[in-house]
Amino acid sequence: MSEREVVVPDLGDFKDVAVVDVLVAPGAVIERETALITLETEKATLDVPSDAAGKVAAVLVRKGDRVSKGTPIVRITTTDEVRSPPPAAVSAPSVPAFAPPSGAAPKVPPGAAPAPVRKPSPADTSKRLVVIGAGPAGYTAAFRAADLGLRVTLVERWPALGGVCLNVGCIPSKALLHAARVIEEAESMANCGVLFGKPRIDTERLRLWKNRVVGKLTGGLTLLAKQRKIEVVRGSARFLDASSLEVRDGDRRTVVRFGQAIIAVGSEPVRLPGFPDDPRIMDSTAALELENLPKRLLVIGGGIIGLEMACVYDALGVEVSVVELTPGLIPGCDRDLVRPLERRITKRYRQILLGTRVTRVEARKQGLRVSFEGPAAIEPETYDKLLVAVGRVPNGRNIGADAAGVAVDERGFIKVDRQQRSNVAHIFAIGDVVGGPMLAHKGAHEGKVAAEAAAGHKRAFDARVIPSVAYTDPEIAWAGTTETEAQAQGIDYGKGVYPWVASARSLTLNRDDGFTKLLFDKGSRRLIGGGIVGPNAGDLIAEVAHAIEMGSDAADIGLTIHPHPTLSETVGMAAEAFEGTLTDLYLPKR
Ligand SMILES: Cc1cc2nc3c(=O)[nH]c(=O)nc-3n(C[C@H](O)[C@H](O)[C@H](O)COP(=O)(O)OP(=O)(O)OC[C@H]3O[C@@H](n4cnc5c(N)ncnc54)[C@H](O)[C@@H]3O)c2cc1C
């Protein structure tokens, strides 16, 4: 046994780095690779591991100190017989291979690079996980894994955590949709005797407010990662093999070795080929910036994202047109649920062209001239801006997955099993990159499944339903089997519908255009699906999803006392309509 000092290793370009946490105290017995302190640079927070095993005799730094290469951190009485080599630069941590808790060797498919054969030290066997991508799927996985005791490195190429959802998706769009709702509600109060003037829109302040909302949430994630001592590495990751990846951030290259990995690299907007390269052609990210509001906007794509942005621009006074290739708006949703939205926007928007293809876009000085094709096609028209919202493509083909032996299909999706494992058992994939509905809550749920499986828990994706919401006006939400699916699959179902024209709460909100529809299996009378259209449908659908997960039948829902007067009552009343016990409407006996 001998006494020695462990010092700060080579920090690459960084000097004078802040110590944000001291992780050991005198008397602690530590292993090689035990994290001693956490440092924070403007690029990352990182743990400095010990290069030897032993007992801490003295801690030589304090929280708030600044350290550089060679600064002593702790003095330890070593138990290592042979002194270990000093650790590599922090930017290239050496990490033992992962052995699954069962002790079974990770399955590597033919052709995949085998995992490294370095024997893990007992303390690290289950404690090294790298998560690529800090969207809702990735950060949820990283946080859950850290809570379960794994040592986690989170790699993210963007400056802020939160992925598409927080930075350029769910959150900024919902902030702008709130503004749209206030504008439209204020306008609609005129027929109730409350008159406001025409709103004056300060797009700069609206954008700043939206960005502040985003900033609060992404800042919160940074704090949550720090509290969990997650090492955040900035840069773009590519696999080198099945146990390491490189992270590039400008000229800086970091090699991260891992025992297990979770791929959570998300998706990006589809670009339509043949369109001119013109800043007046926006994707959803550009549209959220509200720069130079156009007079006339054409939204290409009548799905959820396109229609939400159409709703925002319409409320801000832009003349909106929508073109959709398929015969109906929001493909995949029951037609009766879409109809109230369609009725409302048909009155407000300039054109809604269904079953229509855009065949050509010419960039001209006075605008973008668009040609159409299809039964409802109109003559070419000129618009000031276009928003292309025709779907998203997964980022699975941009991460060198084949170097790790991970199979990616031709569209960029990674196939996974119910534990979110790819064909390489110690590499998981979650979120948009694995397909299914591209929704934040689906990705976050998968993130927890993957983290728990990685920590050795018996966990699999067994959710029955993933709710979908269009935050348009009116909102549309559905969960479980749709009526269209029930009919196509020949399911013997019964239906309970409650129109909101009979909902006291809806009328007090000055709205009567919504309804709640529940579908029940006729034999078991259990709920199999539901759809809601109207204000706050997105919040209300949670009860439907919960009831399906719990295997609730119509009586369970109808006999649950719902508060009055609320929109939630309409869920109970739709169940009563199916049961034949509804008193708030007169339904002739079946
Ligand atoms: C305008 C808009 C509105 C939306 N609204 C909703 C909504 O209301 N509700 C909802 O549920 N969903 C909504 N979505 C979809 C939702 O944003 C996505 O489903 C969700 O963000 C997917 O999460 P993810 O973690 O899989 O991927 P992402 O959120 O895409 O995150 C992936 C992360 O990985 C990073 N990354 C990618 N490649 C690398 C690499 N090689 N190295 C390092 N980092 C990398 C990216 O920078 C990104 O931060 C919306 C999307 C858009 C565009």
Q: Give the pLDDT confidence score for residue 101 in this predicted structure.
A: 32
What is the 198 CA–ligand 1 centroid distance (Å)? 36
Task: Determine whether the shortest distance from the Cβ of 133 to ligand 1 is under 6 A.
Answer: yes
Give the whole-angstrom CA distance, residue 397 versus residue 212.
Answer: 33
Residue with tokens 């990283």, as numbered in its chain = 142
What is the 136 CA–ligand 1 centroid distance (Å)? 7
Residue spans of alpha helices (H) in 228-303? 284-287
Domain at 2-78, CATH from 2.30.40.10, 2.60.40.10, 2.40.50.100, 3.10.20.740:
2.40.50.100
What is the 133 CA–ligand 1 centroid distance (Å)? 9
What is the 283 CA–ligand 1 centroid distance (Å)? 14
Q: Give the pLDDT confidence score for residue 537 in this predicted structure.
A: 98
Nearest-atom number in ligand 1 for the CA of 288 is 1
Dihedrals φ, ψ of 63, to 5°?
Answer: -55, 130
Task: Determine whether the shortest distance from the Cβ of 209 to ligand 1 is under 6 A.
Answer: no
Helix (H, G, I), strand (E, B) or coil at 145: helix
What is the 437 CA–ligand 1 centroid distance (Å)? 12
376 and 356 Cβ atoms separated by less than 8 Å: yes
**DSSP tag of 421:** B
* Nearest residue (CA) to ligand 1, atom 33: 133
Give the whole-angstrom CA distance, residue 469 versus residue 170.
Answer: 11
Q: Where are the domains of the chain?
A: 2-78, 281-390, 474-579
Q: How many residues does the chain have?
A: 590
Edge-to-edge, what's the strand order for the sheet holding 357-364? 357-364, 367-373, 381-383
Report domain 281-390's class. alpha beta
Task: Determine whether the shortest distance from the Cβ of 175 to ligand 1 is under 6 A.
Answer: no
Task: Determine whether the shortest distance from the Cβ of 141 to ligand 1 is under 6 A.
Answer: no
What is the 228 CA–ligand 1 centroid distance (Å)? 22
Nearest-atom number in ligand 1 for the CA of 247 is 42
Residue with tokens 């007169």, as numbered in its chain = 586
Task: Determine whether the shortest distance from the Cβ of 100 to ligand 1 is under 6 A.
Answer: no
* Nearest residue (CA) to ligand 1, atom 49: 163
Dihedrals φ, ψ of 476, to 5°?
Answer: -130, 130
Residue with tokens 């005198």, as numbered in its chain = 26
Task: Determine whether the shortest distance from the Cβ of 558 to ligand 1 is under 6 A.
Answer: no
Q: Give the pLDDT confidence score for residue 41 in this predicted structure.
A: 63
* Residue 526 to residues 492, 521, 558, 569, 581, Cα–Cα distance (Å): 12, 5, 12, 19, 16
Task: Determine whether the shortest distance from the Cβ of 416 to ligand 1 is under 6 A.
Answer: no
List the chain residues with pLDDT less than 70: 1, 12-14, 33, 41-47, 79-127, 590
Nearest-atom number in ligand 1 for the CA of 170 is 5
Task: Determine whether the shortest distance from the Cβ of 158 to ligand 1 is under 6 A.
Answer: yes
* Nearest residue (CA) to ligand 1, atom 1: 169
**DSSP tag of 85:** P
What is the 340 CA–ligand 1 centroid distance (Å)? 29
* Nearest residue (CA) to ligand 1, atom 51: 169
Task: Determine whether the shortest distance from the Cβ of 434 to ligand 1 is under 6 A.
Answer: no
Q: Give the pLDDT confidence score for residue 13 in this predicted structure.
A: 62
Q: Give the pLDDT confidence score for residue 278 in this predicted structure.
A: 97
Edge-to-edge, what's the strand order for the sheet holding 244-249? 236-241, 244-249, 252-257
Task: Determine whether the shortest distance from the Cβ of 432 to ligand 1 is under 6 A.
Answer: yes
* Residue 500 to residues 194, 333, 352, 477, 578, Cα–Cα distance (Å): 23, 19, 26, 15, 16
Task: Determine whether the shortest distance from the Cβ of 399 to ligand 1 is under 6 A.
Answer: yes
Q: Give the pLDDT confidence score for residue 258 in this predicted structure.
A: 96
What is the 214 CA–ligand 1 centroid distance (Å)? 14
Task: Determine whether the shortest distance from the Cβ of 169 to ligand 1 is under 6 A.
Answer: yes
What is the 202 CA–ligand 1 centroid distance (Å)? 28
Nearest-atom number in ligand 1 for the CA of 471 is 8
Nearest-atom number in ligand 1 for the CA of 441 is 11
| Beta strands 385-388; 281-282: pairing state | parallel
Task: Determine whether the shortest distance from the Cβ of 164 to ligand 1 is under 6 A.
Answer: yes
| Beta strands 128-132; 260-263: pairing state | parallel
Nearest-atom number in ligand 1 for the CA of 158 is 47
Indicate which residues carry an active-site annotation.
564
Task: Determine whether the shortest distance from the Cβ of 306 to ligand 1 is under 6 A.
Answer: no
Task: Determine whether the shortest distance from the Cβ of 218 to ligand 1 is under 6 A.
Answer: no
Q: Give, for ligand 1, the residue of 165, 234, 398 to mutate: max count of ligand atoms closer than 8 Å to Cβ.
A: 165
Helix (H, G, I), strand (E, B) or coil at 57: strand
Q: Give, for ligand 1, the residue of 177, 265, 289 to mutate: max count of ligand atoms closer than 8 Å to Cβ.
A: 265
pTM of the model: 0.82
Q: Which residues contact 389 (CB under 8 A, 6 or more apart)?
A: 269, 283, 284, 287, 299, 300, 301, 303, 305, 306, 309
What is the 500 CA–ligand 1 centroid distance (Å)? 34
Domain at 474-579, CATH from 3.30.390.30, 3.40.50.2300, 1.20.1440.230, 1.10.3720.10:
3.30.390.30
